[in-house]
Amino acid sequence: MTIAIATIGMLSATTLATGLLFAFTPYLMRRNECFAVTVPASAQSNPRLVALKKQYTLVMSVLTAIATVASLAAGALLVSGRDAAGITLLCAALFVPLIASFALMLRNRKKVAELKRTEGWQAQHQHATALAAEQDLPKALPLTWNLLYIPVILATIALGLALYPSMPDMLPMHADFAGNVNEYVPKTIGSAIGFPVLIEAFLAACMMLSHWMILRSKRHADPNAPATSALAYGLFARAESAFLLVAGILISAGIGVVFLLSSAGFMKLGQAAALIIILCIPIVIGSIALSVIYGQAGSRVFKRMQASDELLTDDDEHWKLGIFYFNKEDASVFLPKRFGVGWTINFSRPAAWAVVIGFAAITAAFLVAVFTLVE
């Protein structure tokens, strides 16, 4: 019961933290954007835009509070054994704020676009920015840093081989929310060692793909402050790539070790699951902290960048629903998001679809391999 209560608390805290991040997203975006619409940087002080951002934050804060209470109620249902109702309510608590954030963004995007037309905010010419000393700017960590996953996987294999003789003939594989084991599988090298190693390898591949996306992304540079914005973006990309690496190693190593320890009887499977959730807490907190400190694409690094009245570039036509980017003339496959912190893809590029399909294929292969190992 103690494990279940701790898990409920951690899930609720995560719901609260991520919901608040959604709520304050408009204040983390670049100064020449508002609800996925390009505006002059000086327009951020426009009373109507200020009001729209405040209304969005208020509504999302209320929804976040409701979702947090709902996640607590979902946990209580799960502890009492009403799994179907508990899981349904928990999914609603997790996904309703996400869906609401997108719906509110679309609603406000329409209003900002109308204000933009009324005020006549439009670029007379499209200004491109090129930096002669780009190689001297900070950038994401080299991809070779992901080789650190290799010793993590090798250490997991070594620990698994050392613990294998002491493992029981039937290994605990699944537990209910209260921590009671309800599924066992026969002990084999695959189920005892191959399973956690496969999870680690899959997580490493996902993190490495995300790292590669950051490295290959278009570098953001504001024509009004090209050098300063490029420097800010470089610092943002480096911080995100370093955090991605540390978080990936922490969670993959944690999953491998606690699974092996639970298989060998040093802890219960429910305790192992709780420890993994605990490992996720600093990752969630760190992600939110980076978003607040740096802002999207480094927008909060230099708060005194020039607030120009002039709109030098405008690519609103290429952003569908504010989050999907289609631009055949842009050779970039990856680029910073328009609403939210992180990166997205240029859906008009065949290479982008190759990445999506390739990732889906790798995920499908991973799931097939997991079910094969635990059967």
CA distance 344 to 354: 14
Four-residue CA torsion sign, 327, 300, 207, 261: negative
Residue 130: inside a domain, yes or no?
Answer: no
pLDDT tens for 321-344 read 989 999 998 888 999 998 999 999
Per-residue pLDDT, 228: 80
**Lookup result for tokens 């997108």:** 102
State the average pLDDT over residues 191-208.
92
Rg of the chain (C-alpha set): 23
- Of 109 and 281, the one with more pLDDT: 109
Residue 128: inside a domain, yes or no?
Answer: no
Pair (261, 359) in one structural domain: yes
Pair (81, 189) in one structural domain: no
> Is a pLDDT exceeding 70 seen at residue 122?
yes
pLDDT tens for 259-274 read 999 999 888 877 787 7
At residue 103 the predicted structure's pLDDT band, cuts being 50, 70 and 90, is very high
At residue 41 the predicted structure's pLDDT band, cuts being 50, 70 and 90, is confident
Per-residue pLDDT, 52: 96
> Is a pLDDT exceeding 70 seen at residue 135?
no
State the average pLDDT over residues 294-307.
76
Per-residue pLDDT, 179: 66
Pair (232, 360) in one structural domain: yes
Angle at 71 between CA 322 and CA 285, to 5 degrees: 65
Residue 129: inside a domain, yes or no?
Answer: no
State the average pLDDT over residues 99-107.
94
> Is a pLDDT exceeding 70 seen at residue 134?
no
Pair (69, 115) in one structural domain: yes
> Is a pLDDT exceeding 90 seen at residue 374?
no
Four-residue CA torsion sign, 150, 151, 154, 159: negative
Burial label for 339, CB within 10 Å (0-12, 13-18, 19+), is buried
Give the count of domains, the chain.
Answer: 2
- Look up the domain containing 279 and give its range: 138-375
> Is a pLDDT exceeding 70 seen at residue 121?
yes
Contacts 24+ apart (CB under 8 A), 87-90: 90/11
Per-residue pLDDT, 224: 66
Per-residue pLDDT, 193: 92
At residue 350 the predicted structure's pLDDT band, cuts being 50, 70 and 90, is very high
How many Cβ atoms from other residues are within 10 Å of residue 142's Cβ? 11
Per-residue pLDDT, 325: 93
pLDDT tens for 3-36 read 566 667 777 888 888 899 999 999 999 888 999 9
Pair (166, 201) in one structural domain: yes
pLDDT > 70 fraction of the chain, expressed in percent and rounded: 89
Q: Tell me the three-class secondary structure of the chain, residue by residue.
A: CHHHHHHHHHHHHHHHHHHHHHHCHHHCCCCCEECCEECCHHHHHCHHHHHHHHHHHHHHHHHHHHHHHHHHHHHHHHHCCCHHHHHHHHHHHHHHHHHHHHHHHHHHHHHHHHHHHHHCCCCCCCCCCCCCCHHHCCCCCCHHHHHHHHHHHHHHHHHHHHHHHHCCCEEEEEECCCCCEEEEEECCHHHHHHHHHHHHHHHHHHHHHHHHHHHHECCCCECCEHHHHHHHHHHHHHHHHHHHHHHHHHHHHHHHHHHHHHHCCCCCHHHHHHHHHHHHHHHHHHHHHHHHHHCHHHCCCCCCCCCCCCCCCCCHHHEECCCEECCCCCCCCEEECCCCCCEEEECCCHHHHHHHHHHHHHHHHHHHHHHHHHC
Pair (180, 98) in one structural domain: no
CA distance 292 to 161: 43
Q: Which of 117-131, 132-146, 219-233, 340-354 has maximum average pLDDT?
A: 340-354
CA distance 262 to 266: 6
> Which distant-in-sequence residues (6+ apart) come within 8 Å of 217 by Cβ?
237, 332, 334, 335, 336, 343
How high does pLDDT run on average in the chain? 86
Pair (317, 250) in one structural domain: yes
Per-residue pLDDT, 154: 96
Pair (246, 276) in one structural domain: yes
Per-residue pLDDT, 9: 73
14 touches 74 (CB < 8 A): no
pLDDT > 90 fraction of the chain, expressed in percent and rounded: 46
Residue 126: inside a domain, yes or no?
Answer: no
At residue 305 the predicted structure's pLDDT band, cuts being 50, 70 and 90, is low
> Is a pLDDT exceeding 80 seen at residue 284?
yes
- Of 224 and 54, the one with more pLDDT: 54
Residue 39: inside a domain, yes or no?
Answer: yes
